[in-house]
């Protein structure tokens, strides 16, 4: 039996696996894809993340991956008005003074290699097709490998690290809905055609990502300076970001309204030209950009917290636990913070005598309580701040224009706002 079966090898799941293995725990890490693989992400690693990389034993590997050192982030209102936030403001004593632009293909592959190195059992191209669910306890998962064979993986704790898809949590919801349908007073009996996931709000936003080669953008010394900056563009119905990664290319990631995508027949390049380039600065930079990687897209259903301990034996981490607003640049930090928080809480619980009793509901409740308390202490503040900033980001253009100009005259206000997105 594994101490933990973690499904999803993004930064949250893999970092949790590494921390647990370094503490002597038997860990399974299963990932549906084969690495390296592209991932829809801003690909922006803030200075605080290097402390995590050091603890995980991958700092040198990340520094040698060929990423771009990003010294500041410029936020542009639709008119072109801008405010700047130096990357050093995100760090603290002992951290780097710059952020790192690095593709998820490179970063995740290096984390996965480290997981193998410290003894994590890693299975790529392996899907979790069902839960081992007995008497309302999750006892592990049923995995299907690339050979299409299925096998059970029993674990004291199963972790959903599958991102916004929340594959395990939604599988649990489907199982519970099926079980409830056999009860005389169940809602599904009254409405047998109800889809278990129909209660989720319909996605109103869509995120896109690609890699670009950007030509001259109207600035002096463009080739020398551009790679050192991240740019955030605000436009009607969304925002987007552009920063250098390895290989001399830029990562473009943006969010738009689903209705704007539908009106353009789902054509990502057209959405970029007609919506994102409604921002003057974006139009100036992207006008002659060459797309050099496939477009990725995903519908966004919600931001903020989800259930992080949805059933005995099942915990969630990373985007499966909470999805933070991308333009704050704190998504990668939250993933690494989340992996460390989960590993620390789970390790302490596994040391308890009562954790060895698989049927002890009180022991599980203690773990769930401790994890939720640690998670709340770590993330509640920054999630509240980011929820407020999200409303500001989707405000009418004149409001964003005024806010941009006001922040532009006060470095202290910009620094306080930047640090608040990391506040515990």
The CATH number linked to 323 is: 3.50.50.60
The reported pLDDT for the residue numbered 203 is: 60
**Is the domain of 127 the same as that of 236?**
no
pLDDT at 136: 85
Structure tokens, 50: 């290097």
Q: What is the predicted pLDDT for the residue at 186?
A: 37
Tell me the C-alpha distance between 131 and 232, whole Å. Answer: 41
Residue 162 and residue 141 share a domain: yes
Are 315 and 342 in contact by the 8 Å Cβ rule? The answer is yes
- How much is the pLDDT for 219? 47
Which mean pLDDT values do the consecutive 10-residue runs of the chain (424 residues) have? 96 98 98 95 93 96 94 91 85 74 96 98 97 91 95 96 93 83 44 36 81 69 57 93 94 96 96 96 94 94 85 95 78 94 96 78 93 93 77 73 68 68 62
Asked whether residue 378 falls in the same domain as residue 318, the answer is yes
The domain of 330 spans 2-39+103-187+303-391
- C-alpha to C-alpha distance for 230 and 317, rounded to whole angstroms: 27
Whether residue 175 is contained in a domain is answered as: yes
Q: Which residues contact 36 (CB under 8 A, 6 or more apart)?
A: 105, 106, 108, 109
Integer Cα distance of 325 and 300 in angstroms: 11
Does 292 reside within a domain?
A: yes
What is the per-residue pLDDT for 318?
A: 94
* Pair 210, 283 in one domain: yes
CA distance 193 to 222: 58
Can you read off the two tokens belonging to residue 128?
């979790």
Clarify whether residues 142 and 177 are in a common domain.
yes
Tell me, yes or no, whether 20 and 140 share the same domain. Answer: yes
Strand partners, 121: 28
What six digits make up the tokens of 272?
């970029």
CB contact burial 304-326 (16+ within 10 A = b; e otherwise): ebbbbbbbbbbbbbbbbbbbbbb
Domain match, 245 and 133 both: no
Q: Is residue 85 part of a domain?
A: no
Is 138 inside a domain boundary? yes
């Amino acid at each position: 039996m594994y101490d933990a079966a973690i499904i999803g090898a993004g930064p949250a799941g893999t970092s949790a696996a590494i921390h647990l293995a370094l503490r002597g725990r038997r860990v399974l890490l299963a990932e549906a894809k084969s690495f390296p693989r592209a991932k829809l992400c801003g690909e922006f690693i803030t200075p605080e993340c290097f402390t995590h990389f050091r603890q995980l034993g991958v700092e040198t590997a990340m520094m040698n991956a060929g990423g771009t050192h990003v010294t500041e982030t410029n936020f542009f209102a639709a008119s072109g008005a801008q405010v700047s936030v130096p990357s050093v403001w995100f760090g603290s004593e002992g951290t780097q003074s710059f952020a790192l632009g690095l593709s998820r293909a490179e970063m995740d592959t290096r984390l996965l290699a480290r997981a193998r190195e410290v003894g994590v059992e890693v299975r790529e191209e392996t899907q979790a097709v069902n839960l081992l669910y007995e008497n309302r306890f999750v006892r592990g998962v049923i995995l299907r490998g690339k050979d299409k064979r299925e096998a059970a993986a029993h674990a004291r704790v199963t972790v959903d690290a599958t991102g916004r898809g929340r594959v395990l949590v939604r599988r649990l919801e489907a199982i519970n809905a099926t079980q409830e349908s056999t009860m005389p007073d169940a809602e599904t009996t009254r409405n047998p055609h109800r889809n278990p996931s129909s209660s989720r709000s319909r996605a109103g936003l869509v995120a896109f990502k690609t890699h670009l080669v950007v030509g001259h953008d109207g600035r002096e010394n463009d080739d020398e300076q551009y790679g050192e900056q991240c740019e955030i563009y605000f436009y009607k119905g969304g925002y987007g970001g552009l920063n250098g990664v390895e290989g001399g290319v830029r990562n473009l990631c943006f969010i738009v309204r689903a209705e704007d995508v539908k009106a353009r027949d789902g054509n990502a390049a057209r959405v970029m030209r007609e919506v994102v380039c409604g921002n003057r600065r974006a139009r100036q930079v992207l006008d002659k950009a060459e797309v050099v990687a496939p477009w990725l897209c995903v519908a966004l259903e919600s931001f903020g917290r989800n259930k992080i301990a949805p059933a005995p034996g099942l915990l969630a981490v990373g985007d499966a636990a909470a999805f933070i607003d991308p333009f704050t640049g704190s998504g990668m930090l939250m993933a690494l913070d989340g992996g460390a928080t989960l590993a620390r809480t789970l390790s302490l619980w596994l040391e308890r005598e009562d954790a060895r009793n698989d049927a002890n509901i009180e022991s599980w409740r203690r773990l769930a309580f401790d994890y939720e308390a640690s998670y709340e202490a770590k993330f509640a503040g920054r999630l509240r701040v980011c929820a407020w900033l999200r409303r500001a980001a989707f405000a009418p253009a004149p409001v964003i224009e005024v806010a941009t100009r006001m922040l532009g005259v006060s470095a202290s206000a910009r620094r306080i706002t930047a640090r608040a997105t990391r506040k515990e």
